[in-house]
Structure formats: C-alpha cells, structure tokens
Amino acid sequence: MQLDQIEAAICRELASDARLPISELAHRINVSESTAHRRLNSLIARGVITGFSAHVDPAALGLGTEALIHIRLHPGARGALRDFYHYLLELEPVRHVYFVAGNQDFVAHVQLASAAGLRDFISDVVSARPEVASTNTSLVFDHRAG
C-alpha cells in the first residue's frame, strides 16, 4: 500500500508523539484540521495505523535489565513453532517476540529486575522447555525507536 505525502507525514508525526492533538498535527503537516482528521481516520480504517500506545520507562518500574534472547528449537520440534511462539508471548517478562530466519528460530525481547532474574528466567523457564535446543543472550544497553 502506497502512502501519499500527507499520510506519510501523519504516520511520522504520530510515531513520534501518539498524543498529538489533531490541531497540532494539522499545523505540523500544513493541512487543515478537517483534512488531518479525515486522513487519520482513513489510515485507521485501512489498517495502516493499528493503535496508539504509551512508551513506559522499564527502569521506572524496577525492570533495569533488558535483553534479547535468541532461541533455537530442536529440529524435531519444528511442528511446535506456533505453540512455542504463543507460549513466549504469554510470559510476563517478554515484551516482543520475533520469529526469525537464520540460525535461530525466535528472538525474545525481555525486561527483568536484575541479571539474576534474567539468568533464572532463561534457565528455569525458557531453557527448561523440551523443544529448546539452545539460547544465546545479548544484554541491551540502550535502544530508541527509529
């Protein structure tokens, strides 16, 4: 689906600040409020914009340890890919799950209170599953949406 300049500008502005009032959005992209409102509703109706969210600082919630867990399943467990994907999504520390190509099957973005909590989560929850062949973990020092 191709977006025109106005639609692309609306998406860009709202990705930066989803709480932007329609009057300010219209001003920033140099269109009338009615045009901004109509175009925004069109983007929502077409499924281009699927929701609005708040960005929460995990450290403010006591979740100072953030990591990406790369997970490879046993070759014989390929039939369990969907079930394992949904299993990961239900786990409290998991923020995002990516089903990926390459040497790994999944990447789980997690946030926990401590390195010890991360260790326990990997060893007692993720690696304890019989379909898991291996994990490889990367600590996240910082990230920004682009």
Which tokens go with 114? Answer: 């401590």
State residue 1's pLDDT score. Answer: 77
The answer, yes or no, to whether residue 3 has pLDDT greater than 80, is yes
- 66 with 29, same domain: the answer is no
- 73 with 133, same domain: the answer is yes
Domain count, the chain: 2
Q: The domain containing residue 87 runs over which residues?
A: 58-139
- 133 with 63, same domain: the answer is yes
Residue among 86, 66, 95 at smallest CA distance from 129:
86
CATH number, position 74: 3.30.70.920
- Asked if the structure places residue 145 within a domain, the reply is no
* Three-class DSSP labels, 80-103: HHHHHHHHHHHCCCEEEEEECCCC
- Asked if the structure places residue 30 within a domain, the reply is yes
Provide the pLDDT confidence category of residue 130 given band limits of 50, 70 and 90: very high
pLDDT per residue as tens digits for the range 10-45: 999 999 899 999 999 999 999 999 999 999 999 999
Provide the pLDDT confidence category of residue 146 given band limits of 50, 70 and 90: low
